[in-house]
Amino acid sequence: MLTTAAAFAVCGSAYAADMSVKAPGAPLAPVYSWTGFYGGLQAGYASMNGSCSQTDTVGFLGGGLPCFFNPSFNSNGAIAGVRGGYDWQSGAFVVGVVGDFNLTSLKWTQVFNTAVLESGSAGYGSLKLDWLASVRGRVGWAIDPNWLVYGTGGFAWGQFDAYSNLQGTCCGNWWARTKTTKSGVVAGGGIEYKLSPHASIFAEGLWYGNFGSVDNSRFCPGTSTSQQNTCFATGTYTTSFKVNDIVTAAVGMNYRF
């Protein structure tokens, strides 16, 4: 009996030693699901380009001065804002909806020297984009458990502030300002990476278009002795700023609930 017990003890020690050698492998990297609500911040670069033209109802050359020398425009600046949305994941397929609101520094300004017509006369035109917002669908593919590439598209809105004027006794003095919200479309794509169950970083590029024109009109009563806020002849002077497109590139971080 003692011999049998000793044999079992030796076998047990050998088995335990063998178990200690066969230690478990390294733990697997955590896998995070994309399903859920999120909100975040973003900032980046933006570019706006388009053209301007001017017409009047009296057929006077002065109606074309503010956009006569440089009818096309391009503005570069910064964009920053907030975003939020919801994603749903099935396998590697991810679908969701996202909305954002951004302030921008985009502003095109042009001073037109019309002294070729009369000394001291000048024109001025500007178009500013105050803010830009969108509501978009998002479709992505989890190429890695924590990496997501996606395409996005939807509807967009922007608030534009247009201003134009003309100063000079040859052409009268007049000014006009219009602030309006225009709707358009947006499309683009991006990539996102999960740092933890509640934090992710992303990079995204978007194209905005179909905003149409921002028309800035002023009715002028005609000439007067004071030449203040008057025109060469009675009529409506309209400056049209056509926005061809807006392009943005931004990076940011999301908090996932």
| pLDDT, tens digit (0-9, with 9 covering 90-100), for 183-233 | 999 999 999 999 999 999 999 999 999 999 999 888 777 655 454 455 666
More confident residue, 122 or 3: 122
Lowest mean pLDDT among 55-64, 135-144, 156-165: 55-64
- Model confidence pLDDT, tens digit, residues 10-67: 444 444 444 444 445 545 555 668 999 999 999 999 999 998 887 777 665 555 555 7
More confident residue, 143 or 19: 143
Residues 246/26, Cβ–Cβ less than 8 Å: no
pTM of the model: 0.81
Q: In whole angstroms, give the CA distance from residue 87 to residue 40.
A: 14
- Model confidence pLDDT, tens digit, residues 66-119: 576 667 889 999 999 999 999 999 999 999 999 999 999 999 988 776 655 566
Is residue 137's pLDDT more than 80?
Answer: yes
pLDDT for the residue numbered 22? 44
Confidence label for 180 from pLDDT (cuts 50, 70 and 90): very high
pLDDT for the residue numbered 176? 86
Question: What residues does each domain of the chain span?
Answer: 50-68+94-256
Q: 102 φ, ψ to 5°?
A: -135, 140
Residues 240/214, Cβ–Cβ less than 8 Å: yes
pLDDT for the residue numbered 72? 83
Is residue 140's pLDDT more than 90?
Answer: yes
SS3 sequence, the chain? CHHHHHHHHHHHHHHHHHHHHCCCCCCCCCCCCCCEEEEEEEEEEEEEEEEEEEEECCCCHHHHCCCCCCCEEEEEEEEEEEEEEEEEEECCEEEEEEEEEEEECCEEEEEEECCCCCCCCEEEEEEEEEEEEEEEEEEEEEEECCEEEEEEEEEEEEEEEEEEEEECCCCEEEEEEEEEEEEEEEEEEEEEEEEECCEEEEEEEEEEECCCEEEEEEEECCCCCCCCCEECCCEEEEEEEEEEEEEEEEEEEEEEC
Is residue 155's pLDDT more than 80?
Answer: yes
Most confident of 174-178, 197-201, 236-240: 197-201
pLDDT for the residue numbered 28? 52
Residues 222/233, Cβ–Cβ less than 8 Å: yes
pLDDT for the residue numbered 98? 98
Of 105, 42, 81, 103, which is closest to residue 251 (Cα–Cα)?
42
